[in-house]
Amino acid sequence: MNTNVLEAHPSPVRSTQHVATHPSAGSLDASRSTAADRRALRLGMALIIWGRRNVDRADARTRAAAHGDNERSRIDREWAAERALLLSAPRR
């Protein structure tokens, strides 16, 4: 993406109006958007949403794996505590 700003050439007539420094910086009329523009916008949004779907799935898989690991660790700690309690209790 080109982020350079084009400089406006000095005009012989000095006015107080704002001079657009980029060709696309002019005022855009809403009625000038065509069906092709609207379709391009919808296609672009669909592509962005489609491109982000794998990120959501990867995050869900990571959370599920972390949940399984945490659950296994919790069970191991409970068993270790129970084992320590049984081994430390005096025999009857």
Closest CA to 19 of 6, 28, 29: 6
Return the structure tokens found at 77. 């700690």
pLDDT tens column, 45-88: 999 888 877 777 777 888 888 998 999 999 999 999 999 999 99
pLDDT given for residue 79 in this prediction? 96
CB 6 within 8 A of CB 23: yes
